[in-house]
Amino acid sequence: MCGIIGYIGYRDVVPVLIQGLEQLEYRGYDSAGIACLDSRKGNLFLAKEKGKLAALKEKIGDFNIDSHIGVGHTRWATHGEPSRENAHPHTDFSGQIALVHNGIVENYATLKKTLQKKKVRFTSQTDTEVGVQVIGRFYKKKTSLFQAVKQAIPQLRGFFAFVLFSKDDPETIIAYKRSNPLVIGLGQGENFVASDVTALLSYTRRVIYLEDEDIAVLTRNKVTVYSLKRHSWVSRPVTTVNWNVAQAQKQGFPHFMLKEMYEQPEVLRNILSKRIDRQGEVYFDTITKAFRKRLKKIERVFMISCGTAYHAGLVGGTAIQQYARVPYQAQVSSEFRYTNPMVGPEDLVVLVTQSGETADTLAALREAKSKGALVLAIVNVVGSTIAREADSVIYTHAGPEIGVASTKAYVAQLATLLLLAFYMGRLRRKLSRDAHRTLIREFKKIPDQAAKILKEHKRFESCAKKHYTRRNFLFLGRGYNFPTALEGALKLKEISYAHAHGYAAGEMKHGPIALIDHEQPVICIAPDSLTYEKMISNIQEICARDGIVIAIGTEGRKDLEKMADDFFCIPKTSEVFSPILTVIPLQFFSYQMAVLNGRDVDQPRNLAKSVTVE
């Protein structure tokens, strides 16, 4: 997945595609490609390269192409490593159809086996190629490209968007949307389609946003839309976009961080849809039988990571200990390798990293493997070094995260690690089927509950306005939300530059209580939990010393609300899921503190998105 552009009209298509892809570069990508119909030769021209657009432009520069229809794509790998072969566009077995794709075809492995039995050859590791081959099978039957797409879509499970054309029909582009965004750009004697309105603004501001299960048919002079939901042709409203390119890249949000915070419910939905099978069991397609066999027998778990990922690892380790009954210990990557760690073949080392390139975590991986430990990576970037070198990998599929301060990648790590805990609990027969079903039912409510919290943004802003001039903050939590306290403090430090420290609330009397007076804000994370009453006792001690209490708790907790100067509630949920919800108000609070202090939210000073040096 990442960026899609398609064009049909009177212009030379190659510059249009390249410019569109350049406008989508901000989303992040590992490879790029275009396909167009050379009208002089009647051939399908295909150019793909790993790496940046400069490499693709250099390759295309050697060709003299006369074309007015084509598609382009920047890829962020989800199936298959970053490579020229796996880059989009992909073609069908006959070489007639060129297709670009965002999203996931969940049943691609089953479809691929079926097609291979019918002697269809594959040249990539991608689910995208499976999609175009399925469409190609229907197109082979002399039906129109529209009809071929219409007939193929019911065979494809998952959430995705396709844009494609055929060299046999040089006057038509087909676009299909299911959960992944597609927008049509309307011109005079030309039309466009893209995954993001940013790619269109140099040419038009009149757009149509496709809805789920829409198939759009684009010609030079017309756009028609067929709804698979309604089984009929439909009319979609035309919108005039007033954003500039910079605003459009952020989809109207002032910062990438804020945009990515609002993407969290959808990230959670995608993870749950990919990782839970039809029987309600957790499923990881990357875990082999051999890995699973060793996983059954492990005696200890080591959670190794850095920064925000370390906090996710603390939550994940606690859940593994609770549901799989395996003891765990967590350590930051930069310390692990220098302690001569006592790990061996009976141990599982779980490495959590967004980029998959973090230098200290990579060094920890190599240290663990040298001692024979079983190594599992929890990674966002497909094909990254850590993903390749680990014994197995589970991808979080959060999509590109542009803001340096992690938000959606963190909740994706939390969700993935919780699913891993349940998976291990079932594998080791420590978690009953009924208990597992109850957990999964509750987990499926979390995306909507996260969306509900996001609607409270004005209250978070109001709280930040009271405190943005303060320079010191304490964060307290217990159990599953001690890591949330650490994460909340880190977020505030990262982007507002205020000093903040996270503590286990039980440690308050061992030092931090000396700081508490009428000037000291204390953020107390106190959802319903095993230790709720103890957390209330901590808060009473803060109130007795005139400390400023900003509390996050479960809705309906009037006792907590009365004690707090500011109270943010989360929907009722089990303690194990609460870190996904309690972190959202902390992200918002940190964001507003940074904005009010005039900080560079997306690129805070001295920080990098991926730390590739030790």
In terms of phi and psi (left: phi > 0; alpha: psi -120 to 50; beta: otherwise), the region of 189 is left
d(CA 59, CA 38): 16
Q: Return the pLDDT at 76.
A: 81
d(CA 38, CA 282): 47
When the candidates are 3.10.580.10, 3.40.190.10, 3.40.50.300, 3.60.20.10, the CATH number that belongs to 2-249 is 3.60.20.10
Catalytic residues, which ones? 2, 609
Closest CA to 199 of 180, 175, 183, 219: 183
pLDDT category at 1 given cuts 50, 70, 90 is low
Instruction: Name residue 191's beta-bridge partners.
Output: 8, 186
Closest CA to 194 of 248, 240, 263, 152: 248
Q: Return the pLDDT at 614.
A: 57
Q: Return the pLDDT at 68.
A: 96
Q: At what angle do helices 289-297 and 408-427 cross, to 10 degrees?
A: 80
Closest CA to 523 of 581, 484, 465: 484
Whether residue 170 contacts residue 39, with contact meaning beta carbons closer than 8 Å, is answered with yes
Residue with tokens 């570069």: 25
Residue with tokens 């507003």: 592
β-strands 169-178, 374-379 pairing: unpaired
Closest CA to 94 of 119, 73, 114, 74: 119
Length of the chain: 614
When the candidates are 3.40.50.720, 3.30.365.10, 3.40.50.10490, 2.60.40.1730, the CATH number that belongs to 454-596 is 3.40.50.10490
pLDDT digits (tens, 9 = 90+) for 377-418: 999 877 778 988 999 999 998 988 889 899 999 999 999 999
Q: What's the Cα-to-Cα distance from 547 to each of 361, 442, 476, 564, rounded to whole Å? A: 39, 35, 13, 10
Which residues, including other chains, have CB under 8 Å from residue 143's CB and lie 6 or more apart?
A: 151
Tell me the CB-side half-sphere exposure of residue 25, using CA atoms within 13 A.
9
**537 token code pair:** 């006792």
Q: Is 45 helix (H, G, I), strand (E, B) or coil?
A: strand
d(CA 319, CA 136): 45
Tell me the CB-side half-sphere exposure of residue 27, using CA atoms within 13 A.
28
Out of 139-148, 212-221, 400-409, the most confident range is 212-221
d(CA 516, CA 143): 74
d(CA 49, CA 72): 12
Out of 102-116, 391-405, 406-420, 455-469, the most confident range is 406-420
pLDDT digits (tens, 9 = 90+) for 241-288: 877 777 777 888 999 999 999 999 999 999 999 899 989 999 999 999
Torsion angles phi and psi, residue 603, rounded to 5: -135, 70
Closest CA to 416 of 293, 316, 485: 316
d(CA 306, CA 610): 11
**338 token code pair:** 């220098």
User: What percent of the chain has pLDDT above 90?
Assistant: 81
Whether residue 305 contacts residue 313, with contact meaning beta carbons closer than 8 Å, is answered with yes
pLDDT average, residue stretch 125-154: 93
pLDDT digits (tens, 9 = 90+) for 173-201: 999 999 888 999 999 999 999 998 889 99
The answer to whether the 259-444 and 454-596 domains have the same CATH topology is: yes
Q: What is the 3-state secondary structure (H, E, C) of 191-228?
A: EEEECCHHHHCCCCCEEEECCCCEEEEECCCCEEEEEC
Whether residue 311 contacts residue 353, with contact meaning beta carbons closer than 8 Å, is answered with no
Does residue 360 register a pLDDT over 80? yes
Secondary structure (DSSP) of 478-527: -GGGHHHHHHHHHHHHHHH--EEEEEEGGGGGGTGGGG-STT-EEEEEE-
| Cβ atoms < 10 Å from Cβ of 55 | 15
Maximal CA-CA distance, the chain: 83
pTM of the complete model: 0.78
Assigned CATH class of 259-444: alpha beta
pLDDT category at 448 given cuts 50, 70, 90 is very high
Q: Return the pLDDT at 613.
A: 47
pLDDT category at 57 given cuts 50, 70, 90 is very high
Dihedral sign for Cα atoms in the order 512, 515, 516, 522: negative
Top-confidence residue, 310 or 25: 310
Q: Where are the domains of the chain?
A: 2-249, 259-444, 454-596
d(CA 290, CA 274): 22
Instruction: Name residue 569's beta-bridge partners.
Output: 553
pLDDT digits (tens, 9 = 90+) for 558-612: 999 999 999 999 999 999 999 999 999 999 999 999 999 999 999 898 887 666 4
**344 token code pair:** 């061996």
d(CA 473, CA 451): 27
Whether residue 131 contacts residue 99, with contact meaning beta carbons closer than 8 Å, is answered with yes
Average pLDDT, the chain: 93
Q: Return the pLDDT at 611.
A: 65
pLDDT digits (tens, 9 = 90+) for 195-213: 988 899 999 999 999 999 9
